[in-house]
Structure 1
């Protein structure tokens, strides 16, 4: 083995700058996926079969195809579809957000269905309209039950964000690859990138557990 991590110490600040790029993409994609996921989950439990069919078809497509395929379709296919090329970061946010929404919609749907039916029946008995009852009574209870699953999806999104390197986004992985090319040695910088991702995931895990404990105490 011929490993030399010391030669990459001067390049660490450059690699670490990619954390901001990664977190920005993950944060924006997470918001997009969460909002769209809520809408899709309402479609799935709606009495209108057409809305349920649309949501199920959406989930089937995005869960049944690779994320990297969706990313490349949005980035490389945009000039052919809309006449201009989407910015790599925007393409990443769109692809990750749309993909994440498919999984989050199933998580939220399961959480809503897990809430005791007596809650919705009591709201109806009191004359509370469906939408306020869902937003103010059912959904908050469902969120407490599905928080671990949502955090797991956010963690997965953080790890999967590394594939943005295929479209040239200068995230942690891309910067590590660039540094490796300059030094003609890839093992060390890629291992450093892996350590950075591991630390980010561990921090997110600790934060998720802290939020979960706080929500349980608020019951």
Structure 2
């Protein structure tokens, strides 16, 4: 009973639960924003990786004949992003690239940073899914008169999505947990809200456990929803 009173004082006293709600709203919002941006970037970069764009194919030099500038740019992007920590990318974006935009919301900075980071991983997931399909799918679509872009949109990508959905779910769960580093640029996410409560109550364990429990619930709900979506896609096959 005494411990319950302590918990009440930690979270209810001074309306400190509002910090948790604010952090939850921020974390979910950033995750959704960056997930959408990551998917858009991932699809575009994956198409760049696998497209057959060779502007110098008539060159006598074999190296230039096989050169694909779009694929090279996509590889540079994925290697650069996957080879550096997300917190470093976040700090560079906030303190260097967007340093001149003093009024830029932390939410937008964090969403762009995590979206760019997620796009590199989504790109590799989608590329693996597309390249794992039978090549006859594209050949059949082209034989029916579909241009390359339409064949990708209507035939290849929908089939690839079904195969890569579990990997995408794992990426988005990772993305949700990665938002916990946004406190480095002043964002009040879930972890930051726990630190604020700790600084006011001098109780470090309870706020962290509460935040960890909230993350567990959110990832559980998201996983459940995506499993239902996956089952629905399999049913429609």
Number of positions where the alignment pairs a residue of Structure 1 with one of Structure 2: 215
SS at 1:47 equivalent: coil
SS at 1:5 equivalent: helix
Partner of 1:7: 9
Say whether the 8 Å CA contact 2:22–2:188 is kept in structure 1.
Answer: no
TM-score (norm 1): 0.94
Structure 1 residue ranges, 4+ long, deviating more than 6 angstroms after superposition: none
TM-score (norm 2): 0.87
What is the rounded CA distance, in whole Å, between the counterparts of 1:126 and 1:196 in structure 2? Answer: 51
Please state how far the C-alpha of 1:79 moved relative to its aligned partner. Answer: 5.2
Partner of 2:192: 174
CA deviations 1:14-52 (Å, max 9, x no partner) are: 313321111110001000000010000001001121100
Partner of 1:26: 31
Please state how far the C-alpha of 1:87 moved relative to its aligned partner. Answer: 2.2
What is the rounded CA distance, in whole Å, between the counterparts of 2:163 and 2:28 in structure 1? Answer: 25
Q: What does 1:183-194 correspond to in 2, within 5 Å?
A: 183-194=201-212
Partner of 1:206: 224
Structure 1: give runs of 5+ residues left out of the alignment.
Answer: none
CA deviations 1:47-89 (Å, max 9, x no partner) are: 1211000000000000000000000111111355xx2233211
Partner of 1:39: 44
Which structure has the larger Rg? 2
RMSD after superposition: 1.4
What is the rounded CA distance, in whole Å, between the counterparts of 1:143 and 1:103 in structure 2? Answer: 14
What is the rounded CA distance, in whole Å, between the counterparts of 1:15 and 1:133 in structure 2? Answer: 46
Partner of 2:75: 56
Partner of 1:84: 101
Alignment of 1:217 with 2:235, yes or no, is: yes
Range 16-25 or range 93-102, more displaced: 16-25
What is the rounded CA distance, in whole Å, between the counterparts of 1:207 and 1:124 in structure 2? Answer: 35
CA deviations 1:102-132 (Å, max 9, x no partner) are: 0000000011111111111111111111111
Structure 2: give runs of 5+ residues left out of the alignment.
Answer: 54-67
What is the rounded CA distance, in whole Å, between the counterparts of 2:97 and 2:119 in structure 1? Answer: 21
